[in-house]
């Protein structure tokens, strides 16, 4: 399915994003919860993915605890929001074992290519694997995105949008204006969503009043 999607976007010069997802510390989890528990967990994650992808997207399980998703015509912002949403949803899963609560999380590698040449399939495989390993090596429960740019003014050609510093974001906003942080705002708000969910109704009301009066 991925090769078909890549061929389509190359012919029509559309965007495409590739996600590679893996359950963090799956071998340890498997030993603790057993095959039945592990199968149940994989089924839950499958349902999360199926609920979030579009009909035109490709989804497949490519390993014991690994999934690949192709997102034809999806831009970097939409793909990043999707990956963050999946990551946060799975992080809410819990497994019980003899009174102990086991935390469940996934690492996601995201790659958005700029050059859609003849070796695009191999390139996507290598880059999504690289992004996934960077997410896992950073502690898991996160998205690491490698977004290529066709803009010649960008020296590196790759943007790591995995983590953001709220202080850094606010400093950039103050010094350079809203345009400088526009692309980072959706990711920042996704990361802050758990704080909003943890607030009481009174706290939310007070915050909304402050926003309206700002």
Co-location of 121 and 205 in the same domain: no
The reported pTM is 0.68
What does the angle CA 135 – CA 143 – CA 129 come to, to the nearest 5 degrees? Answer: 50
For position 208, what pLDDT does the model report?
78
Co-location of 78 and 148 in the same domain: yes
* Mean per-residue pLDDT, 102-118: 85
The residue from 163, 180, 206 where one domain ends is: 163
In the sheet with 106-112, reading across from the earlier edge strand, the strands are 58-63, 66-72, 16-23, 106-112, 142-148, 158-160
Structure-model confidence comparison of residues 145 and 117, the more confident one = 145
Co-location of 16 and 111 in the same domain: yes
User: Which two structure tokens, joined as six digits, stand for 25?
Assistant: 């510390």
Least confident piece of the model among 123-137, 155-169, 184-198? 155-169
Co-location of 75 and 142 in the same domain: yes
Residue 129 scores a pLDDT above 70: yes
Co-location of 101 and 172 in the same domain: no
Residue 196 scores a pLDDT above 50: yes
Domain span at 20: 2-163
For position 154, what pLDDT does the model report?
42
| Distance, CA of 82 to CA of 76 (rounded, Å) | 10
Co-location of 180 and 74 in the same domain: no
Co-location of 169 and 187 in the same domain: yes
* Mean per-residue pLDDT, 196-214: 75
Co-location of 184 and 98 in the same domain: no
For position 117, what pLDDT does the model report?
64
Q: What are the tens digits of pLDDT across the range 52-84?
A: 998 888 899 999 999 999 888 888 888 999 999
Co-location of 90 and 132 in the same domain: yes
Structure-model confidence comparison of residues 9 and 200, the more confident one = 200
| Distance, CA of 86 to CA of 108 (rounded, Å) | 9
User: According to the per-residue pLDDT averaged within each range, which of 39-53, 153-167, 189-203 is highest?
Assistant: 39-53
Domain CATH number, residue 125: 3.30.70.270
- Strand pairing report for 142-148 and 106-112: parallel
For position 6, what pLDDT does the model report?
63
* Mean per-residue pLDDT, 178-199: 67
Co-location of 175 and 140 in the same domain: no
201-to-194, 210, 213 alpha-carbon distances in Å: 14, 14, 18
Calculate the average pLDDT of the chain.
79
| C-alpha distance across the termini of the chain, in Å | 49
Structure-model confidence comparison of residues 15 and 129, the more confident one = 129
Co-location of 66 and 6 in the same domain: yes
Name the domain count of the chain: 2
Share of the chain above pLDDT 70, in %: 72
Q: What are the tens digits of pLDDT across the range 131-170?
A: 999 999 999 999 999 987 655 444 333 444 444 455 556 7
Structure-model confidence comparison of residues 48 and 181, the more confident one = 48
Co-location of 107 and 16 in the same domain: yes
Structure-model confidence comparison of residues 16 and 62, the more confident one = 62
65 SS3 class: coil
């Amino acid at each position: 399915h991925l090769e078909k999607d890549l061929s389509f976007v190359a012919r029509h010069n559309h965007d495409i994003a590739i996600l590679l997802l893996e359950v963090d510390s799956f071998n340890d989890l498997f030993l603790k919860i057993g095959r039945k528990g592990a199968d149940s967990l994989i089924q839950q994650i499958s349902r999360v993915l199926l609920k979030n992808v579009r009909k035109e997207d490709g989804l497949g399980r490519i390993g014991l605890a690994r999934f690949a998703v192709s997102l034809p015509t999806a831009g970097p912002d939409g793909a990043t929001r999707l990956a963050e949403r999946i990551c946060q949803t799975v992080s809410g899963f819990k497994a019980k074992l003899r009174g102990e609560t086991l935390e469940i999380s996934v690492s996601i590698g995201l790659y958005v290519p700029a050059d859609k040449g003849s070796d695009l399939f191999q390139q996507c495989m290598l880059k999504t694997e690289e992004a996934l390993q960077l997410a896992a090596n950073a502690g898991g429960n996160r998205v690491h995105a490698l977004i290529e740019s066709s803009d010649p003014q960008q020296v590196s050609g790759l943007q790591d949008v995995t983590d953001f510093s709220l202080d850094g974001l606010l400093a950039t906003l103050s010094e350079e204006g809203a345009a400088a942080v526009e692309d980072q705002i959706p990711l920042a708000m996704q990361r802050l969503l758990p704080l909003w969910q943890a607030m009481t109704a009174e706290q939310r009301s007070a915050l909304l009043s402050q926003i309206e009066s700002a």
